[in-house]
Chain A
Amino acid sequence: MLKLDNVSTFYGKIQALHHVSLEINRGEILTLIGANGAGKTTLMMTICGTPRAQSGHIVFDGRPIQQMKTSDIMRQGLAVVPEGRHIFSAMTVEENLLMGSFFRSRNEAAAQLDHVLTLFPRLKERFNQRGGTMSGGEQQMLAIGRALMSQPRLLLLDEPSLGLAPLVIQQIFEIIERLREEGVTIFLVEQNAHQALRIADRGYVLENGSIVMSGSGDALLNDDNVRKAYLGG
């Protein structure tokens, strides 16, 4: 579905990604784990076109997207939940969600709104509340819900567990699994390696901007090196 081939990204002179190649298949949860500064977020943002990949190819559904404008890439059927949620804090939950379906017709948006609200009953309770007045977990749900409003085929999630309580993280991961059942392909970037690998079909380990290991979620979870480095022995 999405294929990265030999992608390198630079911030000025500093190389953040070294010839990264990975592939996301339809209907799976793919997770990318790595330490702080390994380049996880950079990789995700490179897919979105900011920063732009300096070399290599990014192909989504058979179409090369590495030269497209960010705004055009985001209309191709992939959606991103940026790190740190970035909800519109002065807007209500409803308006936040409707911003997600900006390029959809009114009917499509209404149908998708119903769907998102059944996925996140909590958002229905908070429907007319300002985004900024909600708790971190609710905001994360809102960010995911907003991304889903565009009916994406591929959802990119950047650290959805960031700064949330364990119980809330649990809920978020349950929802991610639900989304897979509905046929949304998910690319999950996580620090929380244990939980991410448990629900993932496959995983990649990123270290200093290169992929050092890949395999099924279970295989990585039981790998000695991964255990030592990311799961605390």
Chain B
Amino acid sequence: MHRAIFPALFAAGVTFLLTCLVVGIRLEQEGASLTVVGADAETWGWIAFAVIGVFLVQLLQQPLQRLRQRLPTADITGLLPNEMLLHRLKPWLIALVVSGLLVWPFMVSRGAVDLATLTLIYVMLGLGLNIVVGFAGLLDLGYVAFYAVGAYTYALLSEYYGLSFWMSLPLAGLLAAVFGCLLGFPVLRLRGDYLAIVTLGFGEIIRILLNNWTSLTGGPNGIGGIDKPSLFGLEFSRRASEGSQTFHEFFDIDYSSGHKVIFLYLVAVLLVLLTIYIINRIQRMPLGRAWEALREDEIACRSLGLNPTVIKLSAFTLGASFAGFAGCFFAARQGFISPESFTFIESAIILAIVVLGGMGSQMGVICAAIAMTILPELAREFQEYRMLMFGGVMVLMMLWRPQGLLPMKRPHLELKTS
């Protein structure tokens, strides 16, 4: 017990310092100058409560742990159907989920559908970064750069050449892939931390470039009025632009702004399903196995005649292209983009999605993307403490499941033996 007292005191001290700085004192404007104002008694009470709580938990850590070990843990594996049945049910489950995704937006509010669309963008980004970080094991902190490339590709093509969303989508993916390849070529001889720093720098370079190239990109003012995607030439606006028709006129229904939101959502679902399908296929191809082998042991890979540079480059390029698709869709959905949308925090969130989900696990990444976009929305009423809570959740998560939500299970082929 008394061996735990010093760490406990220390932890309590740190807690006190941090809470004092974060909630204990406030800067308030008084006329032209700022003054430091102490918090009220109630807040100080809460701070004391937190400090005592941390102290007690740290002090009683060992007895608590012993107590927890004695608690029986529920075994839920028995509730799941066995593997054979699960295998047979799988196509039905997938069909159910997909049809649920398609029907769902017609029954909920516009805001919910909008949030779901945003979530799907993050799912796509997470899946793309998962190739680079999860499969190939390359830490990329500048992933948002490719997202920005995709978004600006569509915005610029639409502004200067009037290209439609569907025309720009493959181009955005392609251009992002080219950027991925260009960046990957010089940096892939680096590894670990060095690679992370270089990619971080690249992400910032792209953003700063977009910010300063005012003549082309409009600088910090961004690009507005980007066309929304159309359904085989049918627009989702109230009035059709010249030489085209609107959706509600064609089907002879009343105009509703909800149609556009739902359509965007459905496009996002389509893109995500396509992404999942493509990545699943690649994962089962030799290339996917090579990524995984490279992540595990580079020396062994070299001894087997695999070229690490080519393999890493392919992962980087493919990952970047999915960010390009996501970016293109993002630009179309927002209708307005500026360098503001592509700051480092975006990269960090996408990386957090991959890490929280469990590196390399697609299901995990999807779950984490949903959690990471919906939780901050739910926590909106906590205002400025949102990010604090976010950090807290991350810490708890790493304590509870260091492997991520759903750690990667590699595709496994069973040979049928009669």
What is the interface of chain A, defined by CB distance below 8 A to chain B? 48, 50, 69-75, 79-82, 86-91, 95, 98-100, 102-103, 146-147, 150
B303 engages A102 (CB within 8 Å): no
| Complex: A99 Cα to B296 Cα, angstroms | 12
Given A70-B302, A91-B293, 18 new contacts (CB under 8 A): A48-B302, A50-B302, A71-B302, A71-B307, A72-B305, A73-B305, A74-B303, A79-B303, A81-B303, A82-B300, A86-B303, A88-B293, A88-B300, A89-B297, A91-B292, A99-B293, A99-B300, A102-B286
B144 within 8 A of A: no
Q: Given contacts A82-B299, A86-B299, are A146 and B289 in contact (CB under 8 A)?
A: no
B141 within 8 A of A: no
- Nearest chain A CB to B52 CB, angstrom units: 44
* Most B-side CB within 10 Å, residue of A73, A90, A146: A90
- Nearest chain A CB to B308 CB, angstrom units: 8
A91 engages B304 (CB within 8 Å): no
Give the contacting residue for B289; candidates A80, A82, A87, A99; CB below 8 A.
A99
B318 within 8 A of A: no
A88 engages B307 (CB within 8 Å): no
Identify 5 residue pairs between A and B in the complex whose beta-carbon atoms are under 8 Å apart, listed by A's number: A71-B302, A72-B305, A87-B297, A99-B290, A147-B303
| Complex: A81 Cα to B305 Cα, angstroms | 12
Chain B residues whose C-beta falls within 8 Å of the C-beta of A73 in the assembled complex: 305
B139-191 interface (Cβ within 8 A of A): none
Least CB separation from B408: chain A residue:
A90
- Nearest chain B CB to A51 CB, angstrom units: 12
Give the contacting residue for B305; candidates A88, A90, A98, A150; CB below 8 A.
A150
A99 engages B304 (CB within 8 Å): yes
Chain B residues whose C-beta falls within 8 Å of the C-beta of A146 in the assembled complex: 304
| A-B residue pair count with CB separations less than 8 angstroms | 65
Chain A residues whose C-beta falls within 8 Å of the C-beta of B307 in the assembled complex: 69, 71
B269-318 interface (Cβ within 8 A of A): 286, 289-290, 292-293, 296-297, 299-308, 310
- Nearest chain B CB to A220 CB, angstrom units: 28
Q: Given contacts A82-B299, A86-B299, A86-B300, are A103 and B305 in contact (CB under 8 A)?
A: yes
- Nearest chain B CB to A47 CB, angstrom units: 12
Chain B residues whose C-beta falls within 8 Å of the C-beta of A70 in the assembled complex: 302
Chain B residues whose C-beta falls within 8 Å of the C-beta of A147 in the assembled complex: 303-304
Chain B residues whose C-beta falls within 8 Å of the C-beta of A88 in the assembled complex: 292-293, 296-297, 300
B305 engages A95 (CB within 8 Å): no
A48 engages B300 (CB within 8 Å): no
Chain A residues whose C-beta falls within 8 Å of the C-beta of B410 in the assembled complex: 90-91
Least CB separation from A103: chain B residue:
B305
- Nearest chain A CB to B249 CB, angstrom units: 55
Chain B residues whose C-beta falls within 8 Å of the C-beta of A102 in the assembled complex: 286, 290, 304-306
Chain A residues whose C-beta falls within 8 Å of the C-beta of B299 in the assembled complex: 82, 86
- Nearest chain A CB to B49 CB, angstrom units: 45
Give the contacting residue for B303; candidates A82, A91, A95; CB below 8 A.
A82
Tally of chain B residues near chain A (CB < 8 A): 19
- Nearest chain A CB to B293 CB, angstrom units: 5
* Chain B interface main SS type: helix
A-facing mask of B300-342, CB < 8 A → 1, else 0?
1111111110100000000000000000000000000000000
* Most A-side CB within 10 Å, residue of B296, B307, B410: B296
| Complex: A82 Cα to B305 Cα, angstroms | 13
| Complex: A50 Cα to B308 Cα, angstroms | 13
B304 engages A74 (CB within 8 Å): yes
Chain A residues whose C-beta falls within 8 Å of the C-beta of B301 in the assembled complex: 99
Shortest beta-carbon contacts, A-B, top 6 = A74-B305, A71-B307, A86-B300, A75-B305, A88-B296, A80-B303
| Complex: A161 Cα to B302 Cα, angstroms | 22
| Complex: A147 Cα to B304 Cα, angstroms | 7
| Complex: A81 Cα to B286 Cα, angstroms | 21
Least CB separation from B296: chain A residue:
A88
Chain B residues whose C-beta falls within 8 Å of the C-beta of A74 in the assembled complex: 302-305
Chain B residues whose C-beta falls within 8 Å of the C-beta of A50 in the assembled complex: 302
Give the contacting residue for B296; candidates A72, A89, A103; CB below 8 A.
A89
| Complex: A81 Cα to B293 Cα, angstroms | 16
Q: Given contacts A99-B289, A99-B293, are A87 and B302 in contact (CB under 8 A)?
A: no
A-facing mask of B14-36, CB < 8 A → 1, else 0?
00000000000000000000000
- Nearest chain B CB to A107 CB, angstrom units: 15
Chain A residues whose C-beta falls within 8 Å of the C-beta of B303 in the assembled complex: 48, 74, 79-82, 86, 147
| Complex: A88 Cα to B301 Cα, angstroms | 9
Least CB separation from B305: chain A residue:
A74
Least CB separation from B413: chain A residue:
A94
Least CB separation from B310: chain A residue:
A71
| Complex: A82 Cα to B297 Cα, angstroms | 12
- Nearest chain A CB to B50 CB, angstrom units: 41
A95 engages B306 (CB within 8 Å): no
Chain A residues whose C-beta falls within 8 Å of the C-beta of B292 in the assembled complex: 88, 90-91
Chain A residues whose C-beta falls within 8 Å of the C-beta of B289 in the assembled complex: 95, 98-99
Chain B residues whose C-beta falls within 8 Å of the C-beta of A82 in the assembled complex: 299-300, 303
- Nearest chain A CB to B415 CB, angstrom units: 9
Least CB separation from B298: chain A residue:
A86
